[in-house]
């Protein structure tokens, strides 16, 4: 994947490690976390969850804002004269929707996170037992081979 | 464009006061704050206490050596790969870490299903195997369950713990979900929304798909429990002083409970599942 020249990093709530791969790939790049007001309301996120997440964010080198995620990201990128946005993946449909709205305006690079297992063939996800049979050996491998 | 939110706080109380003024709507679900602190440093502190062998022997007990790392994993403060490495480092024989790594597999599995089906996690993956017509499940959580006033000491304690701490042991989640769906005939989606609102680790994949597993829309049969099971894994702490201890709805063997809860279910040949 090509390197962005002057990106901003979008840190979202699925990837709040200080060593998240997007931050690691672009150390020093301006980074933003956006509280998604619509999501907080829709999911009735309780106060204790907000406190927990806020404490996680405070350990990261990010600017914190709130509102509509796409508008906030694009505004932040414009302020920083960025040529692209870099983030980490998430399985959520909301992430996909936000990503495609961003990608319509600015290149978006999604830096993968180290996976738990690396299946060599498509997995049968019908039941856990079938999934586990395919990945167990890989899941148990010693850390120095990780 | 909004202005920057604050990053400078003298202490946790100041942060909490600020967030109260910024997010007043969230207080509608309760003003409680968890003792569990967010952040990588708090996660690493817990990681240092990892004991995979004790975990394997005791994880089903409410006082067992579970990691309580779920909220950090949920928010990617810590990755499954990092936790696996720490578990393998903490043991001499990798087999001693196998149980914990297998449980991490559950999270990875649910995440992969979520990536594949998206919003489909809110719909029954398969028809329920309870024999109870879908329309007889209530769409909303009953008031007494949400306010911890059912009179059942165990259920009320789990309900309170959920709302006050944002954490429940896996077994307590299973019991509370089974009670909600199978004893109270509440749609699993209502229970799932309740949990997502409160659990610090609230994750649409692990949560909704576990609710479906209990309900039987993502498993071969409904998950139920009985008093003997709950008493054993909770060391009897709830039953002892329960006002309903002589009128306990869980006090029966599995066959009786199945007859009573699922009279119209297709009878399986194997005995009911007790726990995973
Ligand atoms: C009805 C119901 C709802 C649930 N909702 C959630 C949820 O919203 N978020 C969530 O992370 N887990 C959920 N779980 C799964 C499980 O209960 C929690 O992950 C676990 O109790 C967290 O505590 P722990 O970190 O001490 O777990 P440990 O036993 O120490 O396990 C270590 C890690 O493995 C993973 N794990 C363990 N068991 C499971 C499991 N059965 N399914 C998925 N991952 C697992 C978790 O990431 C956990 O942190 C739910 C289970 C049920 C029955």
Instruction: Select from A82, A6, A93 the least CA-distant residue to A42.
Output: A93
pTM: 0.96
Per-residue pLDDT reduced to its tens digit, B61-116: 999 999 999 999 999 999 999 999 999 999 999 999 999 999 999 999 999 999 99
User: Is the CB of B107 within 6 Å of ligand 1?
Assistant: yes
- How is chain B split into domains, by residue range? 12-120, 134-261
B248 CB-contact burial (10 Å; exposed 0-12 / middle 13-18 / buried 19+): middle
pLDDT level of residue A141 (50, 70, 90 thresholds):
confident
Q: What is the spatial distance between Cα A30 and Cα A10, in angstroms, rounded to a whole number?
A: 9
Tell whether ligand 1 has an atom less than 6 A from the beta carbon of residue B210. yes
- Predicted confidence at residue A116, as pLDDT, reads 97
User: How far A2 CA sits from the closest chain B CA (Å)?
Assistant: 25
What's the Cα-to-Cα distance from B162 to each of A145, B133, B183, rounded to whole Å? 39, 29, 19
Which pLDDT belongs to residue B276?
52
Report, in angstroms and rounded to the nearest whole number, the Rg of chain B calculated over CA atoms. Answer: 20
May I ask the CATH architecture of the domain B12-120? Alpha Horseshoe (1.25)
Answer yes or no: are the C-beta atoms of B205 and B111 closer than 8 Å: yes
Other Cβ atoms within 10 Å of B107 Cβ, number: 19
| Interchain contact, B40 vs A17, CB within 8 Å | yes
User: Hunting for tokens 């719909």 — which residue is that?
Assistant: B123
Tell me which chain A residues have a C-beta less than 8 angstroms from the C-beta of B88.
142-143
Distance in angstroms between the alpha carbons of the first and the last residue of chain A? 22
Confidence of residue A142 (pLDDT cuts 50, 70, 90): low
Q: Could you give the CA distance from residue B77 to residue A99 in angstroms, rounded to a whole number?
A: 21
Q: Which residue has the higher pLDDT, B270 or B31?
A: B31
Closest Cβ opposite residue A115 in set B38, B81, B102: B81
Q: Is A146 on the interface with B (CB under 8 A)?
A: yes
> Do B76 and A142 make contact, defined as CB atoms within 8 angstroms?
no
Q: Residue A107: how many CB atoms within 10 A of its CB? A: 14
Whole-number Å distance, alpha carbon B167 to ligand 1 midpoint, is: 10
The SS3 assignment for B123 reads coil
B134-261: CATH topology: DNA Cyclobutane Dipyrimidine Photolyase, subunit A; domain 3 (1.10.579)
Using an 8 Å CB-CB cutoff, list chain B residues near A123. Answer: 112
What are the CA-CA distances from residue B116 to residues A119, B129, B204, B212, B220 (Å)?
Answer: 15, 24, 13, 16, 21
d(CA A131, CA A125): 6
Banded pLDDT at A146 (limits 50, 70, 90): very low
User: What residue ranges do the domains of chain A occupy?
Assistant: 7-114, 115-146
Reported ipTM: the value is 0.96
Mean pLDDT of chain B: 96
Q: Convert the pLDDT of each residue in B168-191 to its tens digit.
A: 999 999 999 999 999 999 999 999
Fold of A7-114: Rossmann fold (3.40.50)
Mean pLDDT of B111-123: 98
B172 with B62: CB under 8 angstroms? yes
* A45's tokens: 């996120």
């Amino acid at each position: 994947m090509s390197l962005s020249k002057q990106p901003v990093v979008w840190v979202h709530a699925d990837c709040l490690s200080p060593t998240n791969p997007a931050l690691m790939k672009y150390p020093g790049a301006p980074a933003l976390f956006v509280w998604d007001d619509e999501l907080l309301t829709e999911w009735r996120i309780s106060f204790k969850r907000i406190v927990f997440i806020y404490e996680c964010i405070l350990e990261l080198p990010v600017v914190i804002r709130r509102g509509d995620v796409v508008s906030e990201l694009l505004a932040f990128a414009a302020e920083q004269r960025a040529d692209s946005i870099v983030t980490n993946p998430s399985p959520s449909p909301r992430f996909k929707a936000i990503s495609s709205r961003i990608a319509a305006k600015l290149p978006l690079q999604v830096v993968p996170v180290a996976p738990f297992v690396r299946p060599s063939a498509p997995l049968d996800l019908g039941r856990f037992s079938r999934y586990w049979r395919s990945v167990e050996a890989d899941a148990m491998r010693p850390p120095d081979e990780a | 464009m909004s202005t920057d939110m604050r990053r400078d706080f003298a202490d946790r109380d100041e942060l909490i006061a600020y967030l109260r003024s910024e997010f007043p709507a969230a207080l509608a679900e309760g003003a409680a704050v968890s003792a569990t602190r967010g952040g990588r440093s708090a996660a690493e502190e817990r990681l240092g206490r990892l004991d995979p062998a004790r975990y394997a022997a005791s994880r089903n007990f409410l006082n067992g050596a579970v990691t309580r790392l779920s909220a950090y994993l949920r928010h990617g403060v810590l990755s499954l790969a990092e936790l696996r490495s720490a578990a393998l480092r903490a043991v001499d024989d990798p087999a001693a870490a196998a149980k914990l790594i297998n449980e991490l597999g559950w999270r990875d599995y649910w995440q992969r299903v979520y990536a594949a089906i998206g919003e489909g996690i809110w719909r029954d993956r398969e028809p329920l195997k309870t024999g109870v017509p879908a329309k007889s499940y209530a769409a909303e959580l009953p008031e007494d369950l949400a306010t911890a006033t059912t009179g059942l000491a165990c259920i009320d304690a789990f309900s309170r713990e959920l709302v006050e701490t944002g954490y429940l042991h896996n077994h307590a989640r299973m019991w509370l979900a089974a009670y909600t769906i199978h004893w109270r005939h509440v749609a699993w989606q209502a229970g799932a929304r309740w949990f997502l609102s409160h659990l610090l680790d609230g994750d649409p994949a692990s949560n909704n798909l576990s609710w479906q597993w209990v309900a039987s829309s993502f498993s071969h049969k409904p998950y139920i429990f009985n008093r003997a099971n709950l008493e054993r894994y909770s060391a009897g702490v709830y039953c002892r002083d329960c006002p309903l201890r002589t009128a306990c709805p869980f006090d029966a063997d599995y066959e009786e409970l199945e007859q009573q809860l699922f009279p119209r279910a297709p009878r399986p040949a194997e005995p009911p599942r007790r726990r995973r």
